[in-house]
Structure 1
Amino acid sequence: MGVEQKPNAGKVANVLRGMADFGQSPWLDFIQRSFTADGSLKKLVDEDGLKGVTSNPAIFEKAMGYGSDYDAQIKELLADEILSPGELYEKLAITDIRATADVMHPVFEATKGLDGYVSLEVSPYLAFETDATADEARRLWREVGCENLMIKIPGTREGVPAFQQVTSEGISVNVTLLFSFAAYVDVLEAYLKGLETRHARGESIDKIASVASFFVSRIDGKIDAEIDRRVKEGDKDAEALKALRGKVAIANAKMAYQHYLEVIKSSRWQKLAAAGAQPQRLLWASTGTKDKAYSDVLYVDELIGKETVNTIPPATFDAFRDHGKLRASLTEDVEAARHVMDEQKRLGLNLDAVTETLVTEGCASFCDAFDKLLGAVAQKQKAMLGNKVLKQSVQLPEALKKDVAEITEDWRRAGKLRKLWARDPSVWTGGEEAKWLKWLDIVEERLAHAVELEAFAHDVRARGFTDVLLLGMGGSSLGPEVIAETFGRHANFPKLHVLDSTDPQQIKAFENAVDLKKTLFIVSSKSGGTLEPNILKAYFFAAAEKALGKAPGAHFVAVTDPGSHMEEVAKKDLFWKIFYGEKQIGGRFSVLSNFGLVPAAASGLDVNAFLRSALHAVKSAAASNPPAQNEAFQLGAILGAAATRHKQDKVTIIASPEIYDLGAWLEQLIAESTGKKGTGLVPIDDETLGGPDVYGKDRVFAYLRLSDKASAAQDKAIKALAEAGHPVITIDLADKMAVAQAFFHWEFATAVAGSVLGIDPFDQPDVEFSKVETKKLTNAFNETGKLPDETAFAKDGAFAFYADASNAKALAGHDVGTILKAFFGRVKAGDYIGLLAYIARDEKTRAWIQDVRLTLRDHLKVATAAEFGPRFLHSTGQAYKGGPDSGVFLQITAEDHADLPVPGEKFTFGVVKAAQARGDFDVLSERGRRALRIHISGSLEAGLKALAEAISKAL
């Protein structure tokens, strides 16, 4: 796009140059890098007397969105920095503004600062925010650093006080989107006040310039349309209405100019002028003709006057050069203009309402253009980054695709992404969500302190530890487990183990797997009051003390929130270090905080590289990446739409073998965040892929694919599911380090899905209920030396069956076959089965639970969840109790062949596990869930084998 030079350019008769004789400055409403770089802009200055340049989001969208002008700089910037689309756009725009300002600077000097300006607009998203507009104006003024810059601020009710404030600070401003006489009066008053405030402080006002951009043609567009409508309908005033066609906008502008002339005659202005103040000139904007019935230079010909500016679009610039007519038109027929204004009022054309609408539409139009601009920048950025960022592709049924598009447009129009990043709780329920959003900027915060974690890693290696044993539950353990399982052991660093169980056999297995004398113990607990980390700390502190023969505090590190009980314990027991979490981050969103990074650093992971990878995901999900291009948002919208509009609420997680454990972390994030108030997403992890025929219609498949290690079998199975019409989301990670990106990507998507579901994704009310029930039972044990008695409703060999009265009645029977047949007979299409095993989690038991779940899935065509307690209580347990009532739960408990004491307590680990199982079951029953508990006596291995056979027969 360019400005065509006509044959008579540069001649003495050039009417563009002749505008100066009438006191008007021609500015160009256009900016483009190539146009500046190839000398075309300077040619307009030299030959046509061009005096200034304006830009807006629509102009930049056309300039940046097409062609390759900006590709080289984009590549250069992205090689050095990790940027959001908005940050990238701004760097590109500032480069253009500075280059244009250089071309225009001789004009600035020649006119002593009256002309030679280039304008850069504050974000149109801020049009109705006073403080944010002023802040951005200041920031852009500093960033550009050119004396012939004008910051464009919209003349909204909120924009005017921002303009007044920054004027008083010495910033030159182009006030834009002025349509009404009243709005212009307010703007000129604000200019005077801003100068007066600055002058009263004894500061100079001779370097400040301002223009008031008064929009013209859009007014006629609205008024003429109304005239045409009324004439067509046979209005009694048809002739009078037709006489106003094409005249109201110019009359409105002339009235504004008359007000300007009155003000500059005032003693108030003369005082400021004597101090060196420049007048705020009226700038005629939107001067391209929209109606072909009018002259294509109408809004230039008719608005020529002293101390004014006309910012002209390229086509009109060429047209005026060719056949424009110079005369002092702005002061002609002023009385006729007043008559037009009176007539429009008499005839009910309601110019005031029209101008109000135009301001709103103008702001919306600039926002739309800015969305398109940022979307185009985001697309280019993504293409140039290549495999540095995760890639998401989706295959959705048409109905779901349409619903996602509707949600996307709703979020775009309402600016909900910006509201989310602004911590506005109205994105969700308007409750306490804002208290839990520190995860949005934790990556940049931790990057700024990465040196501390690197120093810790160095010290861990220097101390010769061979093992790191993390003691935690839920958010404190699942993220570190992903890091341990994904990255394995790093050379010259200890091996990371993660223990999140109260099962005595499992605890003993971990104790035997490490050298207690050379183990660093990380006790990880946000609140410091969670039962499991506290009793695990007590046990291993005592074990380490025995092995070392001295107080083992130097072998212990705590990760906890400031002021927690765990902080007190760590100080009392002289822990080597205490790392602090953020109180404003919930456990399941904490993996990119110290709760994930401390164990990662201790095990030798390059934390700086890990966080820089995560930062790519943060910037990709930024508010400046519009919803349609924002893949993290799109993931959340798909999950939310699928659950709320299509009953597809089983999020089935498939992951490449090398990153398989991401699913366990995702289970907690999704279930605990969304499963509440009878709605939510039910994550299904580690369910081996089958053919399309084994699945119902309630699934969304999320495939986490490690690109360089992709499984051909998984790819083939996923393709078959998509072809069968199942919704499939594929997220490609270039390498293992991109797991950091997956963490943030899913956190953001989950927050979005929570909004679509209409819930607070940051609370977990039903997890707390289970804790309460468990505490009741452990307290009872402390008082009586045993857990309260319970009675099985049936027994069969090694099996005892427990249920509340309602479930027991539905499962009437006395043998395992009859009971299981009745139990699984309650499963309906759209349900899922939860296998909740309170037994040691090891290779054998994991293989057993997988075999059973696949048998159930393939026979009943329903989703299956295979969980180990008490681990899942801090993960999927929330959704099982508070989410949709579609779960059918088989809890499995067993006798412990050995138990372990909890130092300082009467109860043992076996008692705690039993109390947790019973507390969990009690809450499931209280919520009316279809639940059965089977307790195995004797050999666990034999009991599990017999149970698997019984389930298979019952089906």
Structure 2
Amino acid sequence: MKLPIEYTTSLVEVSHQATAIEKETGVLPEDIAWLWPRLLSCRDQVLADVENKKNRRPSPIFPEPVDSRFLDLPEELLTTSRSEVERMVEVARNFGQKNDSVVVLGIGGSYMGARALFEGCCHPHHNELPREQRGGHPRLYFEGNNLDNDTMAGLIELLENRPDEKWGIVVISKSGSTIETAVAFRIFVEALRRHCQKKELSLGEHILVVSQEGSNLWRLCQSLGVPEANMFAFPNDVGGRFSVLSAVGLIPSAVVGLDVKRLLEGAVAANEAFRKNDPAENLILKYVAICHLMEMQRGASIRVLATWGKRLEALGLWYDQLLSESLGKNGQGATPLTVVNTRDLHSRGQQHQEGRRDKLFTNVWPTQERLPTLRIPRWDTDEDGLNEYAGRTVHELLNAARQGTNQAYAEALRRTAEIVIPQIDERTLGAVFQFLMLATVTEGYLIGINPYGQPGVEAYKRHMRQYLRKT
């Protein structure tokens, strides 16, 4: 199965400086060749720890738990657990059909992947379209990801100002005790209770839950009358930031009609590519090599993920969490930064062009647009000077900006890599999610960091509760 994405390093020719650029600021082929045996060893250990976990054996590398089940979860869901996926899709789509709006409550990995899929695969203005133009699917909103009074109150006000429409909640929390999501759930359930009472509806029928069986949230939803058919287990041995290809991401995606089978197929293609030994074809290990060597040899401790176009910004924000929580431990770990170009070339571009050379830029470049092609019209008047480009598409201009930016960065001795994808769709994003998760885990093994768990995040939660109890 062919991986539906490409990964390349930008080798922009800048006259006689090209060789110097590679030697001073880039990664030479012999550097990758030197690192390759270690990468293969790390890859093999990642795969071995998947089997160790299945057989309840500890990892020989890390004393802490290794929640590695995410790796072969796509294959499992497409084969042995196919009936469960079919149940997810059926319940989620029925839920979407009977509700005009659906609010997804979750934080971190419990919502970021779903948001990335929604923004990437649905119409950019999905929620503003009439229902028939949304394919009969509901509007989708994301909350419970911040303690922000005004955004929650504003969304409830919006929902209540549509008295003739029905709405529901999808709540996602592995433990059920994350305070941001728990608080939002209580608040939105109260609003939903009022709504259901007015319309003589069952409260429980308008809630879907994804959580660990037996968690506080699981028991709470049972007490609220949520039917068993509307409850889905958060998979064991899968951390939140690795859960996008489980019910965590599949349920919200199916609510708005996305093809979850193709999403999983894209991830399977990434797994197959990861298992290959051939350095020329193993794009995931090549990505790890470039990122690691740029950080270790060139001081590129900041990884800028540049999405070309707005539709993949949420993918970048998902990756921010993945990289930060997985590798940001024991004084190590590169700092992720998501930018949207060309928008952010007019804000961060100056610093990236002439600031510190501590960054590796990775473009995420979709080669095709999904909606009707827009072209620059020719006018009789030309005060803006655009007649020169009349007939050119907006996508052509974006591509020229990308190439121009790569050239400018190369001239300033700054390195660029690219993840090239075809049209943004479920299969492509499934491959990208798995690509980045596998790369992150492998790099953790490479630098001696357990990429699973996030002990630092738990500290703020503990102190927050202490402060609340004092006041």
Q: Could you say which residue in structure 1 is the equivalent of 2:423? A: 735
User: Structure 2 vs 1, CA of residues 496 and 508 (structure 1 numbering), >3 Å: closer, same or farther?
Assistant: same
Q: Could you say which residue in structure 2 is the equivalent of 1:707? A: 367
User: Structure 2 vs 1, CA of residues 437 and 474 (structure 1 numbering), >3 Å: closer, same or farther?
Assistant: same
Name the SS for the 1:400 alignment partner. coil
Q: Could you say which residue in structure 2 is the equivalent of 1:400? A: 27
Q: 327, 338, 357: which one pairs with 1:697? A: 357
Alpha-carbon distance in 1 for matches of 2:281, 2:191: 53
1:507 and 2:152 correspond: yes
Does the 8 Å contact 1:468/1:494 carry over to 2? yes
1:721 and 2:348 correspond: no
Does the 8 Å contact 1:454/1:601 carry over to 2? yes
Deviation at 1:627, TM superposition (A): 4.5
User: Structure 2 vs 1, CA of residues 513 and 745 (structure 1 numbering), >3 Å: closer, same or farther?
Assistant: farther
Query: Residue by residue, what CA displacement relative to the aligned partner does 1:346-383 show, whole Å, maximum 9, x if unpaired?
Result: xxxxxxxxxxxxxxxxxxxxxxxxxxxxxxxxxxxxxx
1:417 and 2:105 correspond: no
Q: Could you say which residue in structure 2 is the equivalent of 1:776? A: 466
Deviation at 1:681, TM superposition (A): 1.0
User: Structure 2 vs 1, CA of residues 696 and 594 (structure 1 numbering), >3 Å: closer, same or farther?
Assistant: same
1:534 and 2:174 correspond: no
Q: For residue 73 of structure 2, what is the amino acid of its counterpart?
A: I
Q: Could you say which residue in structure 2 is the equivalent of 1:431? A: 63
Q: 283, 286, 303: which one pairs with 1:634? A: 286
Does the 8 Å contact 1:659/1:706 carry over to 2? no
Name the SS for the 2:111 alignment partner. helix
Does the 8 Å contact 1:637/1:756 carry over to 2? no
User: Structure 2 vs 1, CA of residues 395 and 676 (structure 1 numbering), >3 Å: closer, same or farther?
Assistant: same
Deviation at 1:626, TM superposition (A): 3.6
Q: 220, 237, 247: which one pairs with 1:569? A: 220
1:493 and 2:108 correspond: no
Q: For residue 653 of structure 1, what is the amino acid of its counterpart?
A: L
Q: Could you say which residue in structure 2 is the equivalent of 1:761? A: 451
Q: For residue 292 of structure 2, what is the amino acid of its counterpart?
A: G
Does the 8 Å contact 1:428/1:755 carry over to 2? no
Does the 8 Å contact 2:360/2:416 carry over to 1? yes
Alpha-carbon distance in 1 for matches of 2:61, 2:302: 23
Alpha-carbon distance in 1 for matches of 2:420, 2:249: 22
Q: For residue 482 of structure 1, what is the amino acid of its counterpart?
A: A
User: Structure 2 vs 1, CA of residues 562 and 633 (structure 1 numbering), >3 Å: closer, same or farther?
Assistant: farther
Alpha-carbon distance in 1 for matches of 2:48, 2:278: 15
* Matched pairs, number: 391
RMSD over aligned Cα, in angstroms?
2.3
User: Structure 2 vs 1, CA of residues 506 and 547 (structure 1 numbering), >3 Å: closer, same or farther?
Assistant: same
Q: Could you say which residue in structure 2 is the equivalent of 1:669? A: 322
Query: Residue by residue, what CA displacement relative to the aligned partner does 1:245-286 show, whole Å, maximum 9, x if unpaired?
Result: xxxxxxxxxxxxxxxxxxxxxxxxxxxxxxxxxxxxxxxxxx
Alpha-carbon distance in 1 for matches of 2:234, 2:365: 31
Deviation at 1:733, TM superposition (A): 1.1
User: Structure 2 vs 1, CA of residues 427 and 411 (structure 1 numbering), >3 Å: closer, same or farther?
Assistant: farther
Deviation at 1:454, TM superposition (A): 2.6
Deviation at 1:479, TM superposition (A): 0.8
User: Structure 2 vs 1, CA of residues 513 and 632 (structure 1 numbering), >3 Å: closer, same or farther?
Assistant: farther
Does the 8 Å contact 2:313/2:338 carry over to 1? no
Alpha-carbon distance in 2 for matches of 1:540, 1:430: 41
Question: What TM-score, normalized by structure 1, do the two folds share?
Answer: 0.39
Alpha-carbon distance in 2 for matches of 1:754, 1:587: 17
Query: Residue by residue, what CA displacement relative to the aligned partner does 1:604-630 show, whole Å, maximum 9, x if unpaired?
Result: 1111122222222222112x3445531
Deviation at 1:433, TM superposition (A): 4.7
Does the 8 Å contact 1:621/1:633 carry over to 2? yes
Deviation at 1:548, TM superposition (A): 1.8
1:618 and 2:244 correspond: no
Does the 8 Å contact 2:49/2:68 carry over to 1? yes
Alignment of 1:881-900 (within 5 A): none
Q: Could you say which residue in structure 1 is the equivalent of 2:378? A: none
Alpha-carbon distance in 2 for matches of 1:427, 1:625: 22
Deviation at 1:461, TM superposition (A): 4.2
User: Structure 2 vs 1, CA of residues 728 and 558 (structure 1 numbering), >3 Å: closer, same or farther?
Assistant: same
- Percent identity, please: 25
Name the SS for the 2:226 alignment partner. coil
Does the 8 Å contact 1:560/1:581 carry over to 2? yes
Alignment of 1:540-619 (within 5 A): 540-549=188-197, 552-576=203-227, 577-619=230-272
Does the 8 Å contact 1:640/1:754 carry over to 2? no
Name the SS for the 1:439 alignment partner. coil
Name the SS for the 1:735 alignment partner. coil
Q: For residue 513 of structure 1, what is the amino acid of its counterpart?
A: L
Does the 8 Å contact 1:636/1:751 carry over to 2? no
Name the SS for the 1:558 alignment partner. strand
Alpha-carbon distance in 2 for matches of 1:771, 1:637: 35
Deviation at 1:462, TM superposition (A): 4.0
User: Structure 2 vs 1, CA of residues 719 and 565 (structure 1 numbering), >3 Å: closer, same or farther?
Assistant: farther
Alpha-carbon distance in 1 for matches of 2:445, 2:60: 5
Q: 75, 98, 104: which one pairs with 1:444? A: 75
Deviation at 1:440, TM superposition (A): 0.3
- Unaligned stretches of 5+ residues in structure 1: 1-81, 83-384, 782-955
Does the 8 Å contact 1:654/1:685 carry over to 2? yes
Question: What TM-score, normalized by structure 2, do the two folds share?
Answer: 0.78
1:454 and 2:89 correspond: yes
Query: Residue by residue, what CA displacement relative to the aligned partner does 1:385-437 show, whole Å, maximum 9, x if unpaired?
Result: 5xx6101101373463343332213334xx43222112178999422353x10
Name the SS for the 2:135 alignment partner. coil
User: Structure 2 vs 1, CA of residues 480 and 694 (structure 1 numbering), >3 Å: closer, same or farther?
Assistant: same
User: Structure 2 vs 1, CA of residues 471 and 417 (structure 1 numbering), >3 Å: closer, same or farther?
Assistant: same
Larger radius of gyration: 1
Name the SS for the 1:679 alignment partner. coil
Alpha-carbon distance in 1 for matches of 2:154, 2:313: 23
Deviation at 1:754, TM superposition (A): 1.4
Alpha-carbon distance in 1 for matches of 2:329, 2:42: 23
Name the SS for the 2:168 alignment partner. strand
Alignment of 1:109-508 (within 5 A): 385=2, 389-395=4-10, 397-398=22-23, 400-401=27-28, 402-412=30-40, 415-423=41-49, 429-434=61-66, 436-448=67-79, 449=82, 450-463=85-98, 465-488=99-122, 489=126, 490-499=134-143, 500-508=145-153
Alpha-carbon distance in 2 for matches of 1:393, 1:462: 42
Does the 8 Å contact 1:417/1:627 carry over to 2? no
Alignment of 1:50-69 (within 5 A): none
Name the SS for the 1:703 alignment partner. strand
Name the SS for the 1:736 alignment partner. coil
**Which protein has greater RCO, CA pairs closer than 8 Å, 6+ apart?**
2
